[in-house]
Amino acid sequence: MTGWLSKDQAAAKRAEHRNAAHPGMIPAVEAFESNAKPIARDPATLRMWAAIAAVCLLAWIIQTMR
């Protein structure tokens, strides 16, 4: 498993795998499937963003009171 990669790095990794595991074969079509959850369906992510927004709002309120 790899961490987050740029598009160029991901393309290079795919090409590296294709050449090592399937030498000589040329893909007709490549389909990319992401295993990432949409943010709206991930309650933990929504809670994290809500907490960040609350902290930012609180900091803004404190700053405007001075």
**What is the per-residue DSSP string for the chain?**
------HHHHHHHHHHHHHHHSTT---S-------PPPGGG-HHHHHHHHHHHHHHHHHHHHHHH-
pLDDT one-digit tens code per residue, 3-37: 788 888 888 998 899 889 988 888 777 777 777 76
**Contact predicate 13/5, CB 8 Å:** yes
Q: Is the pTM of this model over 0.75?
A: no
